[in-house]
Amino acid sequence: VSEFCTEAVLEQLGDLRRMGWLPADKRLSQWIKESCEYLDREAVKRFKKYPDSDFLLYVLLRDAFPEVKYSTAASRVVEAQVQRCLAQWKKVPVVYRAAYATVLNNHGYNATARRLLASLREMATSTPEKGMWWQQLDRSTFGPYDRIGCTAIILDAFHNVEPRCADIDKIRQFLILNKTNNDWGNG
């Protein structure tokens, strides 16, 4: 069993679920449950060894499957990351602020998540012609994501925290115009 492969497949399934395209299938649901439990065990092992590590990607992934209950030990990992998000959000780069906003919103810290979006708005560049974007992302990565992937994470945060805000269309506009002008490859 590969933790990396399990995460990659779960991430894709989480995206399909969010878009409403994940089929209702008992075997798939069972695989998701077992995979989440496997990732929980791995996160707990890492947390015991490195309690000050960042577990942001794990929490974002697990939040996509709230029907799979956390063990008590995995809940401690999640809570530690939520507290890290609360304590550090003013000090982290743009894309992390967006990811923190999503995590905080998912865990009931809605007002703080909205404050993070307000800070993202302050850091953005916005024009009627090009939409809304973050120049800081030109030299940023987040896991496997480049500038475009990071912008998509920010778009997702806005959609999760303030689903009806006008900025969502501005960010989409930037992404569409960027796709028109650049080759994103196939990955």
CB 77 within 8 A of CB 58: yes
% of the chain beyond a pLDDT of 70: 97
Residue with tokens 């602020």: 97
Indicate the pLDDT class of residue 67, thresholds 50, 70 and 90.
Answer: very high
Q: Give mean pLDDT, residues 85-102.
A: 97
User: What's the CA angle centered on 52, arms 102 and 94, to 5 degrees?
Assistant: 35
- Whether 182 shows a pLDDT value over 80: the answer reads no
% of the chain beyond a pLDDT of 90: 86
Query: Whole-angstrom Cα distance, residue 138 to residue 6?
Result: 29
User: Hey, what are 72's tokens?
Assistant: 């008590």
Cβ neighbours around 22 below 10 Å, total: 16
Whole-number pLDDT of residue 64: 97
Query: Whole-angstrom Cα distance, residue 174 to residue 116?
Result: 20
CB 96 within 8 A of CB 74: no
Query: Whole-angstrom Cα distance, residue 134 to residue 95?
Result: 9
Q: Give mean pLDDT, residues 147-162.
A: 95
182 DSSP assignment: S
Q: Give mean pLDDT, residues 139-167.
A: 91
Q: Give mean pLDDT, residues 110-130.
A: 97
Whole-number pLDDT of residue 183: 67
Query: Whole-angstrom Cα distance, residue 140 to residue 168?
Result: 21
Residues 24-33: tens digit of each pLDDT: 999 999 999 9
- Whether 139 shows a pLDDT value over 90: the answer reads no
Indicate the pLDDT class of residue 186, thresholds 50, 70 and 90.
Answer: low
Task: List Cβ neighbours of 120 (8 Å cut-off, separation of 6 or more).
Answer: 94, 97, 98, 101, 134, 154, 157, 158
